[in-house]
Every structure is written in structure tokens, then in C-alpha cells.
Amino acid sequence: MAKDVKVLGPGCKRCDRAVAMAHDAAAQTGVAVTVEKVTDYAAIAGYGIAATPGIVVDGKVVHAGGLPKPEDLARWISG
């Protein structure tokens, strides 16, 4: 079963980069993922984050604000 990864943000360049990073981390770890961009402000607020991009893995917020380190993203996806 694929991991569910959501990238929360308004669609800025950092948010687009976070989506690409999630795909890269999945390829690096060999974990199947579905990556969804969430741009709706009400949905983003529902996760309780104030800074974007935010990253949610299987329903759990793992990062908010700025780009994560690639090794952290790989760990969150593979964990």
C-alpha cells in the first residue's frame, strides 16, 4: 500500500519543489507514494500549520515552513 503524502501550500515555487522532493525521496527509498498538492487555505489550516510548505505523511504533519532536508523527507516516507 502506498504512503499518502500531502504537500500543503498555495502553489509557490517552494511548494512545487517540495512535491518534487517527495517523489525523489520515494524513488530513493523504494517506497510507493501518492503525492497530493493541497492548495485550499481552509484545508491547510485544518492541519494546524501556519507556515508553508507543510508536509503530511499518512495523516501526520511531519514538517512546516521551508523545505525539509532531503534525508529527513526520505526518513519520514520510509518510516
pLDDT tens, residue order, the chain (79 aa): 789 999 999 988 999 999 999 999 999 999 999 999 999 999 999 999 989 999 999 999 999 999 999 999 999 999 8
End-to-end alpha carbon distance in the chain = 14
**Amino acid 1: pLDDT:** 77
**Amino acid 79: pLDDT:** 86
Provide the number of structural domains found in the chain: 1
Residue 55: give the domain boundaries. Answer: 3-78
Within 10 angstroms of residue 30's Cβ, the number of other Cβ atoms is 8
DSSP H/E element including 77? helix 70-78
Separation between Cα atoms, residue 33 and residue 5, nearest integer Å: 7
We report the CATH number of the domain holding residue 28 as 3.40.30.10
Q: Where are the alpha helices (DSSP H) in the chain?
A: 13-29, 41-46, 70-78
- Upper half-sphere CA count for residue 67 (Cβ side, 13 Å): 14
Structure-block grid coordinates of residue 16: 512545487
